[in-house]
Copies of this chain bind each other. A is one copy, B any other.
């Protein structure tokens, strides 16, 4: 028992118990693996969470600090796993379902997952490698595990059936890890970040004021629960007693808009490609009613200005750009307008809304040059963004590669940024995506966003490729909107009065699709590799 108030630990179970006690009838809606929609409440779910936690003790032999893997969509059982592990002191290791088999093998082994919970429709992804994994038990997240080709497989509903619910949670050290998230690194093995009770608690509480989420909201996280804890929305929504809507496996624009309409979703969150797809769908379906939606967070990669503009003008929805990464738990900055901007004209507000935003209270940011010297916040100087704070990783989980990514307790983000005099962070590029042409830097992000403002362009990515004279030159890859037409000359012409002349791409390729990474971002590495010699072959220059 604590005898100083400072001995009272910051535990997720405190936030959880209050929410369940105060909001027992609040709804949780979940689309299941079979696409059925299940409606339940905080109160009913609480009973299942406590039985799940008890079953981990009694039937799976998991102690405090043991690691539990999940391989699942956003649904109610995943929600139960989040809270059962957090409250009972286990560590939830959310496995990205889009990882390659060798990456899965590595991270399951590295984290030491003793049990893996898997959605029924995702079982086939694990079956080929299951026998090689050091996992004791697989739990299939449904009523039945009899037809499953996984060793020691049991069904979730059987696991928790007839178990006496855990009535009170253990008193943990607030520094206990409660979640492991691995970054899908483009080189080498993934690196793990341990979210602790304390860091998650502080991320949750500190972000509430940013989004003004209250118990009147209905939050639908499109961002997967296997990406940086669904950006924290599972924890935030429950803490304030909001309704939650989980979309399950179908993340198509049609399915999302159907949920927005029928469940009256007020707030959502996802990467730009999701919202570009929804934009396209809403354009084709003007009758779709998404008027309940007040705002969504968009992050994970740069948010096109044209998209922010479209949602506000056509649907009255505020696109809030957020910035973060797995290592920042993840939300670290949000583009909020300041009071004196309230009367600004819309285009000037867009200048602010298209930035990565202001750091969240509690965090410290700076930009530094190659020698680590701090640069001014003048909106001109750019350098690597460094960040630290009570929910920012200061090391990787059991990984000797940590020193390269941290500097005196600061996380090196790998993002290159400017900061305006009034504190808005403007990401110029990922350090590795910056294009160096004849010794000068070109921002691929700026070029992409400008291209995506062209009415014929659905998606665009720009990468630097080898060039005999300039070392690197920008090349653009464009997906046109259905039915739209544009030529290479037309797009370059469109850019020519918007960016410096030497920034203009040497080539524009029209493609059916831009390859995406496991987290839904443009896979620039793949594009770069595939087109590495395109300018060398032509001998441009």
Of B8, B25, B336, which contacts A394 at CB under 8 A? B8
Measured between beta carbons, the chain B residues less than 8 angstroms from A1 are 408-409
Q: Tell me, in angstroms, the Cα distance from A3 to B423 when the chains sit together.
A: 26
* Known A14-B389, A241-B338, A422-B22; contact A196-B361, beta-carbon cutoff 8 A: no
Q: A61 CB to closest chain B CB, in angstroms? A: 28
Q: Tell me, in angstroms, the Cα distance from A422 to B42 when the chains sit together.
A: 13
In the complex the two chains form, is A17's CB within 8 Å of B361's CB?
no
A484 located at the interface, meaning its Cβ lies under 8 Å from any Cβ of chain B in the complex: no
A359's closest neighbor in chain B, by CB?
B18
Of B8, B25, B214, which contacts A390 at CB under 8 A? B8
A197's closest neighbor in chain B, by CB?
B6
* Known A362-B14, A391-B5; contact A342-B423, beta-carbon cutoff 8 A: no
A397-426 to B contact mask, C-beta < 8 Å, 1/0: 000000000001100000000000011000
A7 located at the interface, meaning its Cβ lies under 8 Å from any Cβ of chain B in the complex: yes
Q: A448 CB to closest chain B CB, in angstroms? A: 28
A6-29, CB < 8 A from B: 6-10, 14-15, 17-19, 21-23, 25
A131 located at the interface, meaning its Cβ lies under 8 Å from any Cβ of chain B in the complex: no
Instruction: Say how many copies of this protein the assembly contains.
Output: 2
In the complex the two chains form, is A4's CB within 8 Å of B240's CB?
no
Main secondary structure of the interface of A (DSSP, over half): loop
A215 located at the interface, meaning its Cβ lies under 8 Å from any Cβ of chain B in the complex: yes
In the complex the two chains form, is A393's CB within 8 Å of B362's CB?
no
Q: Tell me, in angstroms, the Cα distance from A6 to B199 when the chains sit together.
A: 7
A211's closest neighbor in chain B, by CB?
B209
A218's closest neighbor in chain B, by CB?
B339
A301 located at the interface, meaning its Cβ lies under 8 Å from any Cβ of chain B in the complex: no
A173's closest neighbor in chain B, by CB?
B6
A193-218 to B contact mask, C-beta < 8 Å, 1/0: 00010110010011011001111100
Q: Tell me, in angstroms, the Cα distance from A479 to B21 when the chains sit together.
A: 41
A357-388, CB < 8 A from B: 358-359, 361-364, 377, 388
A395 located at the interface, meaning its Cβ lies under 8 Å from any Cβ of chain B in the complex: yes
A174 located at the interface, meaning its Cβ lies under 8 Å from any Cβ of chain B in the complex: yes
In the complex the two chains form, is B422's CB within 8 Å of A4's CB?
no
A2 located at the interface, meaning its Cβ lies under 8 Å from any Cβ of chain B in the complex: yes
Of B6, B22, B392, which contacts A5 at CB under 8 A? B392
Interface centre among A3, A4, A342, A393 (most CB of B within 10 A): A4
In the complex the two chains form, is B395's CB within 8 Å of A196's CB?
no
Q: A532 CB to closest chain B CB, in angstroms? A: 38
A510-525 to B contact mask, C-beta < 8 Å, 1/0: 0000000000000000
Measured between beta carbons, the chain B residues less than 8 angstroms from A339 are 214-216
In the complex the two chains form, is B18's CB within 8 Å of A394's CB?
no
Listed by A's residue number, 23 A-B pairs whose Cβ atoms lie within 8 Å are A2-B394, A3-B394, A3-B395, A5-B196, A5-B389, A5-B392, A6-B196, A6-B198, A6-B199, A7-B394, A8-B394, A10-B362, A10-B390, A14-B362, A15-B361, A18-B361, A22-B338, A22-B422, A202-B205, A205-B205, A205-B206, A205-B209, A209-B209
